[in-house]
Every structure is written in C-alpha cells, then in structure tokens.
C-alpha cells in the first residue's frame, strides 16, 4: 500500500504522532500538486504496481500527511487520485477537524467517490484528555463535529474511528467505547479500529510518557470485550494473535509491510502464525519478545 503524504503541516500536535516534529518548516513546495501527482505516477509504472496490493489483492492507496485536509490543493488532489485510480480503494487519514465545517464536508463528499474511506482518531471520551493528546485546545469538539457531519452525509463513504492506545489513554478504553456507542449508536454506519501505538517520530520522542506493553493493551481489550461485541465492525491493528483473547483473534489485521514486522523463535510452530502480525520492529527493539507465547 503506498502512503502518499500530502503535506508536512498539521493543525494538531499529537503526542503519539509517527511523524517527526517540525511541521512549521517552510518546505511546503515539496508537497505541492505536481510532486504528488508525479509520485503516484511513479507507483503506477513497473514495479510500483506491486505496492498497490494488500492481502486481499485489491488496489488501494492511503492519503496521509501532516493533515491532508489543510493542503491548499486538497480537492484537486482528491479529484486527480480518484480519476487516475477509478476502482482503487482510497483511505484518507485525517484528524477530522476540518469536517466540522459542513460546507467543506459537503464538497468533500462530492469528490470522494467510492470506494473511499476516511479514518479519524478519537483519543479519549473527554475534551480534556483528547485535547491533551492532540495538543490543541478545542480539538475534541471539532473532531466529534466532523464525525457527525461525515456520518450525516456519508452515503457509500466508509467512516473509520481509530483508537490509538498508549499509556495516556489505555485506562479510558472502556469509557471511550461507551461514549462512542452513546454518541453514534448506529454502529453499522462506521467501523472502529483499536491500534497499539507505533514507536517512531513524536511517539519515540515522547516514549517515556507513552510506553505501554502489548500485554497491558491486550488486557484492556479483553476487559472491554462486552462493549466491543456491540460494534458491528471492530478491528485490531498491531496486535499479535497470541496476546489477545481467543474471541478477539479474528479481529486482528496485518497492516504493516514485511520489513516492519518481526517473527521470533517463539513464533515457530505457532498455530496462530498464519495471518498474524508478529511484533512491530520498533516495539521488539524496545520491549523484546518476552510477552509472546506459542499457541
């Protein structure tokens, strides 16, 4: 899956962001319309097509940043990608704040022809904690308003709510799931993805605040199982199958390329090895494989 970075700027300052700091650097010309078009065209030539395949053998592309929605050519780029890849799935990774503007959302929905998904993180069930993690006061209200607008006019658009789990919010997982069920009770309108945080970029810089072992994250998911079962479509990213409860193993997805995954000696002969992520490479460097167990 190619990740096409629109932009090096963001209107959030998330503590667990996988990008480096320095979004204020004045190099936006590197992320203009022409370079992004050229980047996609390179992927579509020769070996580039290999990277447009996921495990289901379907073409798809991820649009990321910074924050893509604040790019001055945002709608032109979306229109180009959809025209150039008419049948490919496109996923937009966004903090959701720009979608609090109904006019902006309406324009977006006209351009984002299916198959198209937008993934928005909700960090906590309260404004104080969400904004602390996002690094911007008022982010919680704008993000929730953005999700409301997307769901109100979504049509065939896929809306994903992402929960990036780390030390600052893991104890609020249950309350966060309860909040989402109360706020957006029709769970057929959206999916929820719980993601164990990645150790890179600002997440690495802030790791003393964020450090969380997979076994702790998996235990919180196990405790929240009754709530998880109430969602129509729930996914887990970055979790080895051996660490989650049996009822949750079918929800584990492999979303990282092979070079970012590690399978240790403990994985040999494991019955759950097929379709398992193993360990994230950077996680293995930080914590080792002591938590893994052979099934």
Diameter over CA atoms, the chain? 54
Q: Which positions ≥6 away from 250 have C-beta within 8 Å?
A: none
Write down the pLDDT at residue 55.
Answer: 43
| Cα-based torsion angle of the residue sequence 250, 255, 257, 262 in order, rounded to the nearest 10 degrees | -50
Indicate whether 27 pLDDT > 60. Answer: no
Average pLDDT score over residue span 217-244 = 98
Q: Which positions ≥6 away from 101 have C-beta within 8 Å?
A: 149
N-to-C CA span, the chain: 30
What pLDDT, in 10s, does the model give residues 175-200?
999 999 999 999 999 999 999 999 99
What pLDDT, in 10s, does the model give residues 127-164?
999 999 999 999 999 999 999 999 998 788 999 999 99
pLDDT band, residue 48 (cuts 50/70/90):
very low
Residue ranges per domain, the chain? 3-212
Helix (H) or strand (E) holding 192, with range, is strand 190-196
In the chain, the percentage of residues whose pLDDT exceeds 70 is: 84
Of 253, 263, 291, 135, the residue nearest 203 (C-alpha): 135
Q: Quick check: 269 and 292 in contact, CB under 8 A?
A: no
Q: Mean pLDDT, the chain, as a whole number?
A: 88
- The residue ranking higher by pLDDT, 65 or 121, is 121
Q: SS3 for 5?
A: strand
Indicate whether 39 pLDDT > 60. Answer: yes
What pLDDT, in 10s, does the model give residues 249-285?
999 999 999 999 999 999 999 999 989 999 999 999 9
Q: 3-state secondary structure string, 259-272? A: HHEECCHHHCCCCC
Helix, strand, coil percentages for the chain (3-state, nearest 5): 45, 15, 40
Output the six-digit token pair for 88.
Answer: 């490919």
Indicate whether 45 pLDDT > 70. Answer: no
Q: Of the ranges 69-78, 200-209, 257-266, which one carries the lowest mean pLDDT score?
A: 69-78
Q: How many CA atoms lie within 13 A of 172 on its CB side?
A: 20
Write down the pLDDT at residue 62.
Answer: 85
pLDDT band, residue 66 (cuts 50/70/90):
confident
Q: Quick check: 234 and 188 in contact, CB under 8 A?
A: no
Distance (Å, whole) CA 98 – CA 71 = 11
What topology is assigned to 3-212 in CATH? TIM Barrel (3.20.20)
Distance (Å, whole) CA 102 – CA 63 = 21
Helix (H) or strand (E) holding 234, with range, is strand 234-237
Helix (H) or strand (E) holding 121, with range, is strand 116-121
- The residue ranking higher by pLDDT, 81 or 171, is 171
């Amino acid at each position: 899956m190619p990740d096409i970075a629109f932009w090096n700027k963001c209107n959030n300052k998330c503590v667990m962001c996988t990008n480096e700091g320095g979004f204020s650097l004045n190099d936006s010309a590197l992320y203009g319309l022409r370079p992004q078009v050229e980047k996609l065209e390179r992927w579509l030539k020769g070996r580039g097509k290999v990277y447009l395949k996921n495990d289901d053998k379907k073409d798809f592309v991820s649009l990321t940043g910074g924050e893509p929605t604040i790019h001055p050519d945002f709608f032109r780029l979306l229109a180009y990608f959809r025209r150039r890849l008419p049948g490919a799935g496109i996923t937009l990774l966004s903090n959701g704040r720009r979608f609090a503007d109904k006019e902006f959302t309406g324009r977006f929905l006209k351009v984002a022809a299916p198959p198209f998904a937008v993934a928005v993180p909700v960090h906590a069930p309260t404004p104080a904690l969400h904004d602390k993690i996002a690094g911007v006061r008022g982010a919680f209200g704008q993000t929730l308003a953005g999700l409301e607008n997307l769901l109100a006019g979504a049509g065939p658009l896929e809306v994903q709510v992402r929960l990036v789990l780390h030390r600052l919010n893991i104890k609020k997982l249950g309350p966060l799931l309860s909040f989402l069920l109360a706020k957006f009770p029709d769970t057929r309108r959206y999916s929820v993805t719980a993601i164990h945080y990645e150790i890179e970029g600002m997440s690495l810089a802030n790791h003393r605040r964020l450090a969380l072992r997979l076994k702790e994250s998996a235990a919180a998911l196990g405790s929240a199982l009754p709530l998880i079962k109430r969602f129509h479509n729930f996914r887990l990213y970055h979790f080895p199958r051996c660490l989650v409860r049996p009822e949750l193993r079918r929800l584990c997805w492999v979303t990282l390329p092979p070079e970012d995954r590690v399978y240790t000696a403990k994985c040999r002969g494991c019955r759950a090895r097929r379709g398992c992520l193993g360990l994230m490479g950077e996680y293995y460097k930080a914590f080792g494989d002591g938590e893994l167990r052979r099934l």
